[in-house]
Structure 1
Amino acid sequence: MLDLAGELRGWIEEGREFAVATVVAVGGSAPRGPGAALAVDSAGTVIGSVSGGCVEGAVYDLCLEALRTGQSVRERFGYSDEDAFAVGLTCGGTIDLLITPVTGQTRTVLASALSAAAGHEPAALALVARGPAELLGRVLLVRPDGTCEGGLGGHPDLDRVAAAEARALLEAGRTGTVDLSASAARGEPRRTESGGGAHCPGGLTLLVESNVPPPRMIVFGAVDFAVALARAGKFLGYHVTVCDARPVFATHDRFPEADEVVVDWPDRYLRRTGTDARTVLCVLTHDAKFDVPLLTAALRMPAAYIGAMGSRRTHEDRARRLRSEGVSERELARLRSPIGLDLGARTPEETALSIAAEIVAVRRGGTGAPLTGSNTPIHRDAAVPGRPAAA
C-alpha cells in the first residue's frame, strides 16, 4: 500500500476513516503484484487498484464492509469458467487480498510508514497477511537501523524475528512474503520469498513492503533525444540525472523534468556519483572522446542497464576503442548498443520509447517480442541476483 503514500497520508491528516485492500499473494497471470492496494474512505471515495479493473467493484464493497464491522478479512479472487461475467480475474490468475480497516495502533503505525514513503526514506512495513483472525492486519514498521514501531500482537520474540526478516528484505530492496512457523516465537522461523504467500500451518505469513529511494537513471549527453528520455524516465519512476560537459546545453530550462542537471565530464561525474544494481545508464553523447572513457568506467561498475546510442558502424568502432582500453569481452557484453528495441523509431520521442521499452524488458526479463502468438508468461520478473524486485 506504500504506492498510495501521498494520498493516504493526506487522508490520515484529514482524519478520514478508511479501509485498505492489499494484494498479499498472486497466482498465475495477475495484473498487480503483492503490495498493490485499493483504499476506500467512509464517504465512498476510492483510490488505487488491485486488479486493473477486474474485481474492483467487489473489493470496494468489501472495504465498506470492513469499515462497518471493524474486522480484517482475507479474500481470494480468481477466474470463473462457468460464468465469464462473474466477479473474477478474466486474465486467468488469482489474487489474495487482505482487507483491513485502518484504526487504532494500525493507523498510527501506518501514518509513520506513509510519511517515510512519501519522503523517500527507507523503511519496511510488515503486515500479517495470514494467521489467526485476531492478528490479521497487524503491522510492524522496521527502519534500516533496526528500530521498530507497532507490533504483531504475539510474543515479543515474534516481533523480534519478524523485524529481522523485514530488515533483510529492506536491505535487498525487495517486497515479498515471509513465512514464520509456530516456533518463530522461540526465534526459529522458516522463511520464504516466493511472493505467493505459501502458508506455514500454525504460523504466520507476513507481507513485507520495502520502501527504498527510486532507482537512478543517468542520461549522458544533453541532446534532443535526452529531453524525451528524461521525460520517459520520470514516467517510469526513476530519479533522472542529465550530465553533459557543455554548460550551454546542460540547463534546467532544457530539461525541466530531470531531477538533476549536471555540468561535468561524463566519466568524471560517473566515478564521483557511483552506481548500484538498480542504476540505469544511457549514453547519448555519440562522441568517442566522451563515450570511450565513460563506458570504460561504466562497464566495470554495478548497473541494471548500460546502453549507448549510435549506428552499428559507430558501435563497432566504439567496441574496438574499448577493447584497446582493456575492456574485456565479458564486460563489453553488458553494453546495449545500438541502444533500444527495434520499433522503427525516428523522432526523439519514439527513440525514447524504444530505449524505455528495452530498459523495462531487461528489468522484467522480457524478450521484446510481440505477445501475439507468444507462449511466454506475460507477467514475470528477471531473476537477476542482487537486483531488487519492483515494488
Structure 2
Amino acid sequence: RAVIDREAPGLAEDMRAAGRVSTPMAALSRGLVGSLGCTLIVNLPGSERGARESLSSILPVLPHALELLGGGTVHGPAGSKSATGADSPGGEEDRASATVEDQLVARRAAGEPVVLGTAVGVKGNPPCRLGQKVLLGPESALAGTLGCAEFDDAAVADASDVLQGGAPVTRTYHHDLGTIEVFLEPFLQAPLLVVFSATPVALHVVRWSRQLGFDPVLVEDRAERVTAEHRAAAVVRTGMDGLALEGDAMAVHTDHEAPALAGSLAALLRSPVRFIGVMGSARHVGRHLQSLRDQGFSDQDLLRVRTPVGLDIGARTAEEISLSILAGLVAARRGAPGGWLDR
C-alpha cells in the first residue's frame, strides 16, 4: 500500500486495445501501479493462476505504460507504427487523434449514436492532459481515454443522458490528483436524406451530404440512368417502400421531368418529413403541383414543397447547384433563414 498509489494513465485503454475488455481482477483493469526507485510495481491477484493470467495480459502493454508514466500523453495501442515499421507522419498525438476520429467517422457511418468527450480544462495534476479525447457509446468507451478509469467511467455514465438530450454539455470529473472539465458532444443517428433521380446534381448531393451528417439514399426506378458512381456514393433503391420517413428526414427531387414525381411528392406530403424540395422553376414544377391539388392537397399542404430548391448563390454548374441545395438543407435543419431561391 505504500507504493500502489496511483493509476497508470492509459493502461486500461491499452489493455482494451489488446483485446482485454475485462481482466481477472478489477484492480488490474484499473491499472493500479506504483514505483519504487526505477522499479514499476503492479498490483496482481494473490493466486498463482491469477498472477499468471494478469501478467499475460499486461506484459504486451508495459512498454507503453512506462512511456506514459514517464510523461507521455498519448493513450492508444502500444508501439503504433506504420506499415513500413516507421513512426507514422505527424507524431504520436496525430496517431491518437486519428484513432478516435477514425472510429467516430466509422460509427457515424454505421448509424451508431456516440458521444465525443474532450478534456477542455485541467486543475491539479490528474492523469489527463488538455485535448485528450474519448469516444463513448451508451454503455462503454469505444476509443481513446481521458487518462484513467475513473474519468472514463464517469464520462460513460453521462453518455446516455447526453445522447438523450441531443445537445453538447460540459461536465467536471474529480480525481485524487485533480479535476478535469470535459466537453461532451453527442453525434446522433444521421437523419435520412432521400434524393430522387440519378442526375449529376444528385451524385454530388449524396456524395457530400454524408460529411454534413446525413444518411443519403438515392431513389431511381430508371436503371439505365444509374451509374457506377451513383452506386458507389449511396444506396440506390427503385422506390420509397421501407424507407423510414420520420420527422427528421429530408427529401429532394433533382429531375422535374421524372415520371413518378407527383406520386412521390404525394407520399412525402402524407409523411412527417421535415423538408421536401424540387429542382426546377415554377413553370416546370407547376403541373406537378396542380396534379397534387387535383388529388386533394390544399395550398397550405403545398407550401411544404420548396421549389426552386436551395439557397441563392448564383449556382450554374451541377457542383454549384448541389452546394446550393445542401446549404438549404443545413439551413432548414438549423432553423436559419438562409436566402432561399423560392422566397
- TM-score bracket for this pair, using the shorter chain length: 0.5 to 0.7
Tell me what 2:40 maps to: none
2:315–2:321 contact (8 Å) kept in structure 1? yes
Indicate which of 236, 243, 259 corresponds to 2:234.
Answer: 259
Tell me what 2:264 maps to: 294
2:198 aligned counterpart, secondary structure: coil
Within a 5 Å distance, the mapping from 1:1-391 to structure 2 comes to 70=71, 101-103=73-75, 113-114=100-101, 116-120=103-107, 121-130=112-121, 132-135=123-126, 136-137=128-129, 141-144=135-138, 146-148=139-141, 162-171=155-164, 174=167, 176-180=168-172, 205-212=181-188, 214-233=190-209, 236=212, 238-253=214-229, 255=230, 258-262=233-237, 264-265=238-239, 269=240, 271-276=241-246, 278-287=248-257, 289-327=259-297, 331-369=301-339
Tell me what 1:188 maps to: none
Q: How far is 1:366 from its partner?
A: 4.2
1:272 aligned counterpart, secondary structure: coil
With over 3 angstroms needed to count, the CA separation of the structure-2 counterparts of 1:132 and 1:105, relative to structure 1, is: farther
Q: Flag structure 2 segments of 5+ consecutive residues without an equivalent.
A: 1-16, 19-67, 79-92
1:234–1:257 contact (8 Å) kept in structure 2? no
Deviations 1:224-266 (A, max 9, x none): 433343444356564433221111112325x26522222x13x
1:119 aligned counterpart, secondary structure: helix
Q: How far is 1:353 from its partner?
A: 3.0
Give the TM-score, by structure 1 length. Answer: 0.49
Q: How far is 1:216 from its partner?
A: 4.0
2:194–2:217 contact (8 Å) kept in structure 1? yes
Alignment size in residue pairs: 248
2:225 aligned counterpart, secondary structure: coil
Q: Could you tell me the percent identity over the aligned residues?
A: 28
Structure (1 or 2) with the greater helix fraction: 2
Residues in 2 aligned to 1:258 and 1:300: alpha-carbon distance in whole angstroms: 28
Residues in 2 aligned to 1:209 and 1:329: alpha-carbon distance in whole angstroms: 40
Residues in 1 aligned to 2:226 and 2:98: alpha-carbon distance in whole angstroms: 39
| Cα RMSD for the two superposed structures | 4.4
1:248 aligned counterpart, secondary structure: helix
Q: How far is 1:339 from its partner?
A: 1.3
Q: How far is 1:337 from its partner?
A: 1.3
Give the TM-score, by structure 2 length. Answer: 0.55
With over 3 angstroms needed to count, the CA separation of the structure-2 counterparts of 1:248 and 1:173, relative to structure 1, is: farther
With over 3 angstroms needed to count, the CA separation of the structure-2 counterparts of 1:133 and 1:352, relative to structure 1, is: same
1:132 aligned counterpart, secondary structure: strand
Residues in 2 aligned to 1:302 and 1:172: alpha-carbon distance in whole angstroms: 21
Q: How far is 1:307 from its partner?
A: 0.8
2:194 aligned counterpart, secondary structure: strand
Q: Which has the larger radius of gyration?
A: 2
Q: How far is 1:143 from its partner?
A: 1.6
Residues in 2 aligned to 1:169 and 1:328: alpha-carbon distance in whole angstroms: 40
Q: How far is 1:126 from its partner?
A: 2.7
